[in-house]
Amino acid sequence: MASSPARLHDALACLAAIGEESRLRLYALLADAELAVSELVTILGQSQPRVSRHLKLLLEAGLVERRREGAWAFFRASDKGAPAALAQAILSGLAADDPAFSADRARLGEVRAARAAQAQKYFEAHAPVWDETRRLHAPEAEVEAAILDAARNGGPRWRRLLDIGCGAGRTLELLAPYAESALGIDLSAAMLGVARARVEQAGLRHVNLRQGDIYALPVEPESADLAVLHQVLHYLDNPARALREAARALAPGGRLIVVDFAPHQNEMLREKHEHRRLGFAAAEVADYLRQAGLEPVLHHDLAPGDSAGEDKLTVSLWLARDPRPASP
């Protein structure tokens, strides 16, 4: 939806904020990527106080948004409001091959490469743990195909995707291409770092990531058309509460996909991998969904692969919908 034209006061505030070389370069960077102050300091070669001062002016003009993630703060160009639309129009009218912008983009590429290397290091350290669990159940490609089929159950596309407990970002990578906007939430800053590198490498610029508590999601009510909890419930001490919070985020007619394990007796997952629950019965999750005000639509089990070994795990998928009529 197009923004209303900027009023004179807002237009002048926007022009004053962006009408300085460093701030214009900052805005151009934040229109391309979500960055921390330390990363902006590295790219611009300016002091932290100076960069912070420039960011403050851009924030006050409504051109930039700030998001807290633990002790860190990340910034990105705002896409809301008339001042932001005016700033974007100014940016689009500038020469892409300007030497200053070209140098900034080159240093941004270096920052992204450093992020990717850090994420890969974390991933490699934890991959043996994840692989140990994957070997016990159906091939990942089969699980992902089932998730995609369930997501398309109400139509081939959805506008607003919410990935709750997004982890390393693979579900975002799978589903976000079909969404107009996507938000991944996770409590772990380290996992969000992995997810951030993944979505950047996939070119998913419409994906946002946010640190948050699964029991108190940092989202507006009715803000998602499709929400997903993929292999999350078995870590929780109160799965029913998490599903109620997920239901709060669904718009009328919205859908929720839950993927977890069917009941099993593999105590290794509790002892080594912090699983609080050894799977869920189909009726148990269906009851949780109804208590959250949702209507279960389907339940599907994926049998373990032939190479899963003795302690095989069955992956279960539930799809539920908000029973209220969807907005036209």
Residues of the chain with CATH 3.40.50.150: 135-321
Task: Read off the amino acid at residue 178.
Answer: Y
Query: What is the DSSP pairing of strand 315-321 with strand 250-261?
Result: antiparallel
In whole angstroms, give the CA distance from residue 172 to residue 44: 31
Mean pLDDT of 113-141: 65
Q: Is the pLDDT of residue 4 over 70?
A: no
What is residue 134's predicted lDDT score, i.e. its pLDDT? Answer: 58
Which residues of the chain does CATH 1.10.10.10 include? 8-110
Q: Which amino acid is at 33?
A: A
User: Please, what is the Cα angle at 202 between 198 and 208, to 5 degrees?
Assistant: 65
* Low-confidence winner among 59-68, 145-154, 302-311 (lowest mean pLDDT): 302-311
Please state, in angstroms and rounded to a whole number, the distance separating the CA atoms of residues 323 and 328. Answer: 15
The torsion defined by the Cα of 242, 247, 250 and 254, in degrees rounded to 10, comes to 120
The per-residue pLDDT for 248 is 97
Rounded Cα distance between 290 and 323, Å, is: 10
For 135-321, CATH number?
A: 3.40.50.150
Considering only the C-alpha atoms of the chain, give the largest distance between any 2 of them, rounded to a whole number of Å.
Answer: 71
- CA-based R_g, the chain, Å: 22
Residue 255 in tokens: 């859908």
CA dihedral angle for residue 52, residue 26, residue 212, residue 321, rounded to 10 degrees:
150
Long-range contacts of 44-51 (CB under 8 A, 24+ apart): 44/104, 46/22, 50/22, 51/26
Judged on CB neighbours under 10 Å (0-12, 13-18, 19+), 71 is exposed
CATH number, domain 8-110 = 1.10.10.10
Q: How confident is the model at residue 115 (pLDDT cuts 50, 70, 90)?
A: confident
- Return the structure tokens found at 270: 């509790």
**For the segment 6-16, what is each residue's pLDDT rounded down to a tens digit?**
678 778 888 88
Cα separation values, 59 from 33, 55, 76, 121, Å: 16, 6, 10, 34
Q: Lowest mean pLDDT of 88-97, 170-179, 284-293, 295-304, name the range.
A: 88-97
> Is the pLDDT at 314 greater than 80, yes or no?
yes
Tens digits of residue pLDDT in 241-278: 899 999 999 999 999 999 999 988 878 777 776 777 88
Alpha-helix residue ranges (DSSP H) falling in the chain: 8-18, 21-32, 37-44, 48-60, 82-92, 99-134, 140-151, 170-175, 189-201, 239-248, 267-273, 282-291
Q: Which amino acid is at 116?
A: A
